Structure formats: structure tokens, C-alpha cells
Amino acid sequence: MTPFSPLNWFRSPDSQASCRTALSCEASLDEAVRQVADELGSATADLALVFVSSHFASDLPRLLPLLHKRLQSTHWLGAVGGGVIGTDRSGKASEVERNAALSVTLLNLPGAVLQPFAVATDSLPDLDGSSEEWHRWFGLDPNTTRAMLLLVDPGSSGINDLISGRDYAYPAAACIGGIAAPHNAPHGSLLCGDQVVSGAVGLGIGGDWTLDPVVAQGCRPIGPVFAIEQSHRNVLLQLSEGSRRDSPVACLQRVLAELTEDEREMAKDSLFLGVERRDLLIGGNQPSEPGSAFLVRNLIGVDPRNGAVAVAERVRPGQNVQFQLREANASRQEASQLLCAARERAERPPLLGLLFACLGRGSGLFGAADGDVSIARSVMADLPISGAFCNGEIGPLGGSTHLHGYTACWGLLRQAPLSS
């Protein structure tokens, strides 16, 4: 647990906001560090964000010392990704999916309160206890935390409880992040300060800065909305459409019968279920967005004896569900709409776009490289972008923060002075 002292991390509002980015695809870690350092220059930053591909996993303990020799920043935070997202010196944003890559972003954030933390996740505070226990555990002042970046080691346990506890302790602070990539080296997948760590790391953001969350799930609904009549934990036993009740498998068969042949073929590998969420919005600062009522989850099993369907989410009678089809065009349209809506809501343009995308997106979904960054650049042409492909993405939907799969979770870092 990192103790907090916000006054030590408060930046004078008189300095100039800036974002410097560098991306290297050199196969040698030393060469990659040299390239990004040459591109970034020697000016001191408030925050350095580092995302590195798993190709460099065995060299990870060398990475931060090498960067510290060449670059100056008050705080350092980062993670290993299954792929790396970054912006080079020319301003070109790229998703590097299969090759070695190092992305470094240096930020100067005047008027910001930055509270980094690193926590062990093997023993969490009690979810039935007081929120103050969670405040002490995270080491973040709830009065100065407007948003949070959260990165979790893939070997961590209790990730969903960690996310629930975060929501309990900081209900007004939007949270964006992801699960780092696994590797075989004998150390964690997270970077904090000058160390490689496991557990979870992150950053409380406050003062005159915040993160606007955008969660694109990449699916389109198919068929009608069904009501859950009977269920047990994560198993759907009976659904209804109006006065008609049937097994989930029978309902799905009716939906599939209405699809085109191409859509039915696609459904063999890309069929999901949307579970309606009616939670109250967190702190009123996360506006309702198109499609945000349904949390998209995997279908994980079928019982042919009674037509029951198991889904990767606890469900209860009275909730609504709708089958979903994941495909590229729907993903492009949804992400574009959500990013456009975020742009229109913001009083100032973002300084940086943080992107945590599923390993299943990228060229595998869009058929070409740079799918998500291209969508973002079509909405915000000069937006610097950095981030990683993750083993799970963290972001808000329907008023609560969730661990997602197959999503693109954006955090748009922008200046939002409290006095304005």
C-alpha cells in the first residue's frame, strides 16, 4: 500500500500541458529504449506511461533502469501487453500486435493531483466493511480522486472483488484499465516507480484533470429482448417474450432462424449474450451511451436435456437479455458513435487517448491493422494514443465498473478545471 500525500504531487497550474509520445519496434530492448529516449528528449515530465510487449518479458527488470537513465519523470507506470499501442514521433498511431514494441508517453499536467499506487491482491479488504478500509488499502484520497487508471497482473486473484471494492470506495471516480499479458519470466507484468511488480498498480487522477471513459463492446443485438423467468446463478433456465415462455435454447433457435446464412455462419464463433444492467449512474458523471444497457458476456455452455444456457455472468429473474453478434462493421459503428459522443460532451479536447483493447480485436476482428486507432483518428484526427492489448479490459458500463472481454476501453485524458 502506498501512503498518499496529495500536496506533494500537485502541479502548479501555471505550467504548460504537454504530451510527448514515442514508439519503437526494435527487437533489442537497448535499441528500443535508445530510440524512444532520442524521440522524447530530456525535459522532465509529471507522468511516464510505459507499455511493452511480452517479447521483452525476460528483460523487464532492466527496462525501467534503462529508461530512468535517459528520461526524467516524477511518476512511472506501465504494463506488459499482448500487443502494444503507441504513437511515434511523426504522430502516427499504431497497434503493434505480434512484434516486439515499446511505447512511452511523457505527460506534463498542470494543476493535476496524481496519486500512484501499488497493492498486493492476495488479501483484499472486506466488501462488507467500511469504505475507509478500501481508501487506506488503495492509498488514495477520495476527495481528490476524480478518475482512476487500474492495471492488474494476470496472476492476481479476486479481480472482480477488487473492481467491486474500487467502486464501493470511489463511486464518483470513473475507472479505466486492463489485465496485463502473462509471460513465463519469474516476475510480474506491471511497472511502478522503479520496480517490476505483481498485484495491481494504478493512478488516482484529480485536481484539474480527469479521464472520460468510453467502452465499446463491438457487438450488435439480434432478435428480440427476452425476460428471464427462471435462472440459477449463471444459468438461464427459462426466458419469455411477451406471454410466450420457452427454454433459452428454443429462444435462440428462433433468433437464428431469422438470420441470413452469412450471419448464422458468423454466429458459430461470434455469438454472445447481452445482460441488461439498470444500475444507477456512478456519481452522475458517466452519461448513458448507446447500447450501454446490455453488458455483453460469453455463452459458456448448453444443457441439451432442458435447453438451459450458461453465461459468464450471474443473472436473476426479472432481468432482460438479448443475443448479440460480434462483427467488424458493428464494432466500427459503435466505437465511432461512442467516441463522437464523448467528443461532443467534453468542453476541451483530450490531451491523450489511453486504449486497452482485447487481444481478440485488432486485425483478427477488423481484417487489417490499426482498427481501433483508425476509428479514433477519424473522430479526433490528431489524438495521441497509447495503451496495450489486454487479457481483460476494465471500464464502466451501466453505472458500474466491469471486467470485460472483446472490448475497446478508452480513457480520454483531458483538462477539466474545477473552477470552470
pLDDT tens digits, one per residue of 232-265: 999 999 999 999 999 999 999 999 999 999 999 9
- 169 with 240, same domain: the answer is no
- 82 with 138, same domain: the answer is yes
Q: At 375, list the grid cell.
A: 476509428
- 310 with 380, same domain: the answer is no
Name the domain boundary from 325, 340, 366. Answer: 325
Reported as a single tens digit per residue, the pLDDT across 100-130 is 999 999 999 999 999 999 999 999 999 999 9
Say how many domains are in the chain. Answer: 2
Q: Cβ distance 197 to 68 under 8 Å?
A: no
In angstroms, the CA 189 to CA 217 distance is 25
- 354 with 365, same domain: the answer is yes
Alpha-carbon Rg for the chain in angstroms: 22
In angstroms, the CA 352 to CA 47 distance is 12
Q: Is residue 1 part of a domain?
A: no
Q: At 51, list the grid cell.
A: 507499455
pLDDT higher than 90, residue 153: yes
- 297 with 411, same domain: the answer is no
In angstroms, the CA 394 to CA 247 distance is 32
| Residue in the structure block whose three cell numbers are 467528443 | 343
63, amino acid identity: L
**Predicted local distance difference test score (pLDDT) of residue 291:** 42
Report the candidate in 2, 287, 251 with the shortest Cα–Cα distance to residue 118.
2
Full domain range(s) for residue 316:
220-325
- 196 with 225, same domain: the answer is no
- 97 with 195, same domain: the answer is yes
- 21 with 68, same domain: the answer is yes
Reported as a single tens digit per residue, the pLDDT across 299-356 is 999 999 999 999 999 999 999 999 999 999 999 999 999 999 999 999 999 999 999 9
pLDDT higher than 90, residue 285: no
Q: Is the pTM of this model over 0.95?
A: no
Q: At 101, list the grid cell.
A: 514494441
Q: Cβ distance 48 to 94 under 8 Å?
A: no
In angstroms, the CA 132 to CA 141 distance is 10
Q: Is residue 268 part of a domain?
A: yes
In angstroms, the CA 301 to CA 299 distance is 6
